[in-house]
Copies of this chain bind each other. A is one copy, B any other.
Amino acid sequence: MATSTVEDYIKQIYLEQIDSIDGFVTMGRVAISLGVVPGTATTMVKSLADSELVNYEPRVGVRLTEAGEELAIQMLRRHRLIELFLVETLGLDWSEIHEEAEKLEHAISDRVLEQMDTLLGHPKVDPHGDPIPSESGNLSNELLMNLGNCILNQPLNIARITDQSSEFLQFVNKSGLMPGVELTVLKRESAADAITLHLSNGMSLVVGTLAGEKILVE
């Protein structure tokens, strides 16, 4: 059985791999994303390679094997289902559930997971709008527009928040830009680096391009 440390490494490598060019994740990225020193990342990745969960090329990086990807997706399902459960059933704030799910994802049994899934009605997205893989391991991967490149003057729905630092989520909360909210992008001024929005609740606000690109819509 994979330890919770192994589960975290694999999940994190998967996430990093998604937005990597060549499919390889560097040791530096692994280290940062898991909060360890580079030497630890190297050691651990070599051991993951021994377990056939990744392919490791010294001085190049890691890439998940089939088995690794399967485990990663399973962990993603656990993590996201738990996050939704914490919000829906226990009424926690969606900006503070990540750490909790980070621990629980290793502790609950498949039995409990399925029970949660049923109770929640087989949801497709978590509170941040991230897709929840199906039990069979299917992960929808439609690419969405963001506030920096979507159509102007068209009602859109916020689908997903890609920066999940509690700082950004707090801002999103405060500004009423949570997933599900309807809005219209009024204008974009590249010189001013600004995007002007109009929310369905009547509020208008301006965000910078960098922030806007972290908010996906559909």
Contacts and interface: CB of A to CB of B under 8 A. Distances in A.
Contact of A90 (B99, B100, B104, B119): B119
A96 B115 CA distance: 14
A106 B89 CA distance: 20
Given A115-B90, A115-B92, A107 B109 contact: no
A55 to B, nearest CB: 31
Interface of A: 86, 89-92, 96, 99-100, 103-104, 106-109, 111-112, 115-116, 119
B112 A92 contact: yes
Nearest to A4: B107
Contact of A116 (B90, B103, B115): B90
16 contacts: A86-B112, A89-B89, A89-B119, A90-B112, A90-B115, A90-B116, A90-B119, A96-B111, A99-B109, A100-B112, A103-B108, A104-B104, A104-B107, A104-B108, A106-B107, A107-B107
Nearest to A111: B92
Q: Which of A89, A90, A108 has the most CB of B within 10 A?
A: A90
A69 to B, nearest CB: 25
Contacts of A104: 104, 107-108
Contacts of A107: 103-104, 106-107
A137 to B, nearest CB: 23
Nearest to A89: B89
Query: Top 6 nearest A-B pairs by Cβ distance?
Result: A107-B107, A90-B115, A103-B107, A104-B107, A100-B109, A100-B112
A100 B92 contact: no
A100 B91 contact: no
Given A89-B119, A91-B115, A104-B107, 14 more contacts: A86-B112, A90-B115, A90-B116, A90-B119, A92-B111, A92-B115, A96-B111, A99-B109, A100-B108, A103-B109, A104-B104, A104-B108, A106-B107, A107-B107
A108 B100 CA distance: 7
A107 B100 CA distance: 8
Nearest to A86: B112
